[in-house]
Structure 1
């Protein structure tokens, strides 16, 4: 009886140990946003494109006129992609779990990232509206840049409908 319990405990410890060893393996991911980070022309020599080590998962998001962002995640995420439509723009978010896997045109993402990105987009659009009304000190240069890109894209979209 004791040998069965001891064997069961040993097997359980072995399984938990192996599982933990697999999920804590650190990987390296690309980290960048916009310009040099674009899908079609990931410019690895550009100063804004960096490699970050010690990641659990890599992330790549693409949000219509806002462009592409690649990042390092501190938590493990299952590989996969999701797409959501927000204000007529398609937002794709993908996770992957191998070294520098977020350089590809297509990687994998979880639903958590997509939802987070949708929330971020709503906040960004809200800050664009507030930024129009009056200048607030917390509105960063990056937000101002994205606001101008959104307005520019909206203007092009609506002027092309009038033609």
Structure 2
């Protein structure tokens, strides 16, 4: 008599167990999919950062370059990445000089002080999974790397 009552329960238990396994498999698949997407994004950001440093390094090595901007694409295998750069002059205010400094030091600071620097902004843009991403870096360049045209003389 007990055997007849248990037969129906085995089928129900099996269906419930399979439903739980299916739901677990879906959750695991979603987690793995998200992990793969996150890994791809992390790899792209790392690549973009290295490419950004490459462009910034090229500009930091040039002597007396004029203010301006430009853009371009990287060669394979980085053809998905594009770059934009801008170099402009940034004014630097004269710092306050402590009154306790010797006169020679004050004169040396005033003589050697330059009131500007170059500001280089590099922007890397790429597309991943249908969305646009960007990585931006800024650096200051010493005045010798920024070309300043001579002031034009006025003719009378």
Give the shorter-chain TM-score range.
Answer: 0.3 to 0.5
Q: TM-score, normalised by structure 1?
A: 0.33
- The structure with the larger Rg is 2
* Larger RCO, structures 1/2 (Cα 8 Å, 6+ apart): 2
Q: TM-score, normalised by structure 2?
A: 0.34
